[in-house]
Structure 1
């Protein structure tokens, strides 16, 4: 079998990265300086790395992040009250492996969403499936799904996400449909998957925002009691950016 046939068969089997590297090695006449075992390992590693990179890019796209946030770019300025050691421990993502939750609270503009998305980005890099959602928009989507009969399918999609990021939680009180949806989401994920919540509203007032005492108790028991909590403070980082411009 000649090299052209080999390359064509690799492509038909969708082993494209291996095919392209083999073609490059043939063109450059680099096959004589390596053993068969080493050459097979080279081709295999190249294909593996290419597939892993594509998987990570797919996970990042599916997550739906609003910002390109990364752990490396996190600002630890003192005024934010963000403990660097604690956040870097969280960045190891052990809390995700343990199916624990994380709650960011603080005033608008202090970087809650950025930190949540930075951890989400890191999770994608480690091949966790992440879903990012603005909470109010998520509730609207679920209301529509109840109308068109896709509610359970949408719920199942969220339950499969290793990490669910609920951004801007609690900006308005929940109605009956929102409460039921949040209860279903949190109950499915309890002790199974990680939920990260970002909110301008202190956790102490969430009970009133959720409403309906029994459901609020059930939600908060599942969401808050198994969570790490970071309360940020300080001036708006958005204003700092505008001043710098």
Structure 2
């Protein structure tokens, strides 16, 4: 079997990266110093790395992040009340292994969304599934899902997500549909998967925003008691630079 046939068969088996490297190797007349075992290992590693990279890119796309954020660019500042060591520990994603949550609060522009999405980006890089969502839009979507019969399917999707990021939590008061949907989300994920909530509203005011004492108690009990809490301070980071919070 000649090299062209080998390359074609590799492509048909969806080993594209391996086929491309072998094709380049043939074009360059190979390397006389490499053994057959070393060459096979080289091809295999190249295909493996390509597959992992494509998986990560797919996870990042599916997450639906609103902005590009990563841990390396996080600015730690005492004025922001962001402890470097604490956030570095969160960046290891051990909180996800323990099924814990994170609550990020602070005024508009203090970087809550960026920190949440930086952790989400890291989760994708570690091959975890993440979803980023504006809370109000997600709850409206779930309301429509009840109408078209896809509500349980959408809840199952959220449950199977390793890290759910709910941004701008509490900017709108909850109606009955929103309360029930939020209760379903939090109850399904409790002790099973991690959730990050970012909000301009202090946690002390969430009870009134959610409304209906029984459901509010149940939601907050599941969220707050299992959460790492970061309350960001300082001036808006948007000054002079137009960025999403």
Provide the TM-score with structure 1 as the length reference. 0.97
SS of equivalent to 1:164: strand
Tell me how far apart the structure 2 counterparts of residues 45 and 138 of structure 1 sit (CA, whole Å): 40
Show the counterpart of 1:47.
47
Show the counterpart of 2:125.
125
SS of equivalent to 2:197: strand
SS of equivalent to 1:228: strand
Show the counterpart of 1:7.
7
Counterparts of 1:89-238 in structure 2 under 5 Å? Answer: 89-238=89-238
Tell me how far apart the structure 1 counterparts of residues 31 and 214 of structure 2 sit (CA, whole Å): 70
Cα contact 2:77–2:83 (8 A) shared by 1: no
SS of equivalent to 2:196: strand
- Offset of 1:189 from its aligned partner? 0.4
Show the counterpart of 2:57.
57
- Offset of 1:33 from its aligned partner? 2.1
- Offset of 1:76 from its aligned partner? 1.3
SS of equivalent to 2:238: helix
CA-atom RMSD in angstroms: 0.9
Give CA-to-partner distance per residue, 1:135-175, whole Å, 9 cap, x none. 00001101111111111111111111000000000012101
Tell me how far apart the structure 2 counterparts of residues 64 and 125 of structure 1 sit (CA, whole Å): 14
For structure 1, which segment, 71-80 or 178-187, has the greater mean C-alpha deviation from structure 2 after superposition?
71-80
- Offset of 1:240 from its aligned partner? 4.4
Give CA-to-partner distance per residue, 1:67-100, whole Å, 9 cap, x none. 1011111111332111111101110111111111
List 4+ stretches of structure 1 deviating above 2 A.
none
SS of equivalent to 2:164: strand
Give CA-to-partner distance per residue, 1:100-155, whole Å, 9 cap, x none. 10000011110000000000001100001000000000011011111111111111
> 5+ residue gaps in structure 1?
none
Tell me how far apart the structure 1 counterparts of residues 149 and 177 of structure 2 sit (CA, whole Å): 15
> 5+ residue gaps in structure 2?
none
Show the counterpart of 2:17.
17
SS of equivalent to 1:104: strand
SS of equivalent to 2:215: helix
- Offset of 1:29 from its aligned partner? 1.2
Count of residue pairs brought into register by the alignment? 242
- Offset of 1:31 from its aligned partner? 4.4
Q: Does 1:86 align with 2:80?
A: no
- Offset of 1:2 from its aligned partner? 1.1
SS of equivalent to 1:238: coil
Show the counterpart of 2:26.
26
SS of equivalent to 1:116: helix
